[in-house]
Amino acid sequence: MSSQPSTTEEPQHPLAGTRMTGADMVVQVLADEQVDTIFGYSGGAILPTYDAVFRYNDHNRLANGKSPIPLIVPANEQGAGFMAAGYARASGKVGVVMVTSGPGATNTVTPVRDCQADSVPIVVICGQVPTQAIGTDAFQEAPVSAIMGAVAKHVFLVTDPELLEATMRSAFEIARTGRPGPVVIDIPKDIQNWEGVFTGSGALPLTGYRNRLQSVTGNRISDESCERFYGMLAESERPLIYAGGGVINGNATKAMRRLANAHGIPVATTLMALGASDTTHPLSLHMLGMHGMAFANYAVEDCDFLIAIGARFDDRVAGDPPRFAPNAKKIAHLDIDISEVGKVKSVHWHNVGLLARDLEDLGEYGRKIGFDKSFDAWHEHIAHLKAEHCLNYERDSALIQPYAVIEEINRITGGKAIIATGVGQHQMWAAQYFDFKEPRLWLTSGSMGTMGFGLPAAIGAQFAQPDRLVIDIDGDGSMRMNIGELETATTYGLPVKIIVFNNFGDGMVRQWQKLYYKGRMSGSDKSLHRKDFVKTAEADGFRFAQRLDDQSRLAAVIREFIDFEGPAFLEVIIDPDAGVYPMVGPGMSYDKMITGDYIKSRDKRDDEQPGPSEMF
């Protein structure tokens, strides 16, 4: 890729030379980028573009009568941002948000930061006050460039109307290439109303960006580098792949699975990489980290060659970096972002490039040299760890256990449903107890940990994958954050399934307060007993809205809930003391992992009582 726009002869756009308003150019570029859904909330400064969307849809209506680019209106702009994020995560395409100036733009700050932290491609189009009014504290003015510059991959403020069309195309290029992320375009109202000639091609120079991208895309693994990698693998007896969200973002799942399967290398994934490895496969160790599987964390402790792919050694995985993978004599790291290599943990071999291509090159080299080494003893050890230290909970409790609810849903869905979550205990239970046979089935706010993410993300995913079963696993605290989006689900007739685990407070915060703050429930035991979630769902149009508080009805209600044809809402009253285990405390190494009362720790005798830090 050159530092300048391509000069290759391309077919002329059928509308090239047509006079259009800036708003019409914005919408035409969206159509050219094959955008099929826009999420947004209107307002004065974005009205010209909203009108252009209406006119485009009216003029280009599909044979079935539907709009080619429907505009989905949420309860608020934060909901729009998370819907676009859910759409992008579930589809792999760029999500699009369109909001007005001032509060409309600032309400998208959290989704933009969330997408930047989890490398999710969205484009946010913000209306802005007219150019001459910028800086005058005009009505609904906000310094979008200053605010978003700190949290987005890139921000554009369009002040030259002649550059609007090229800016729109460049925004999509930046959002989807390299390490994906959110791009914000701030468009003053007078730029939207301006009229000029649509060229149908061209992009901004972006010299520095394209040069940096070229250094990554042009960096192929050499035979010498492959030889060194396979030399380390040959010396290893216990290799382990540590896969991060970059594997899914880089569409490298198939290549990683082929490499792992070819050589029998077990795979442990981060929270963001669930589905990169089929969790039902014998080589899968499911999830590692703070609330990862005990057997996965023990495998990390035991491995002698750690292969990090699209992962960044973050604090939820490597809370104590020097003691992370303590027995690994060698560490290899493949990523698309050079800044992640060596940032937390020193490595012995690395490659920065396109993950899918690089993993294929590694695998091809292995086939070429006929690499064949048995790791049978390691596989037996892994199987023992999985059998000995599997997930477990109090199965004879009279109270409904959240784990049992998820196990029942998982039994029905078989690891093929799209699962979105809020943030908290329910998020970790879902990550632990659901299976994921494919990538892009797991949608959660990982790095930012944003409560209120689950419901709008599930709605966005349902638009992206209308034929898939989409389930939002939420908590009572997280649900209240964006509860207005319940009506969005029914307004658009989406068959999304929503479960609220109600433990009447912020369960994860309470768990930490019980473990580390001597049970002082400061601000977390809110006793949210007045909120009737079922009546709320009914008021928002849910024909299926039930409360499950009788354990004997669990299987029957779950089946009815999943089988319901339209949007369905289920509140489950769970054991308020249900905890998330295993748990590796902040800044701790895996050998200090707390496994609770029902998951066996290899460092604790069967008859040993949990210490005070493990007791509620």
Which residues are part of the catalytic machinery?
Answer: 77, 139-140, 189, 508
Distances (CA, A) of 444 to 115, 213, 275: 11, 28, 13
* Six-digit token string for 236: 């290893």
**What is the rounded CA–CA span in Å between residue 504 and residue 70?**
38
Distances (CA, A) of 169 to 40, 104, 164, 166, 571: 20, 23, 9, 5, 44
DSSP code per residue over 423-468:
SSHHHHHHHHH---SSTT-EE---SS--TT-HHHHHHHHHHH-TTS
Upper half-sphere CA count for residue 468 (Cβ side, 13 Å): 25
Single-letter residue type at 134: I
**What is the rounded CA–CA span in Å between residue 487 and residue 541?**
7
Is 614 in contact with 596 (CB distance < 8 Å)? yes
**What is the rounded CA–CA span in Å between residue 393 and residue 496?**
28
* Six-digit token string for 471: 């389930």
**What is the rounded CA–CA span in Å between residue 129 and residue 126?**
10
- The residues, ordered by sequence, that sit 6+ positions from 470 with a Cβ below 8 Å of its Cβ are 90, 417, 418, 420, 458, 461, 462, 494, 495, 496, 497
Is 345 in contact with 313 (CB distance < 8 Å)? yes
Single-letter residue type at 60: N
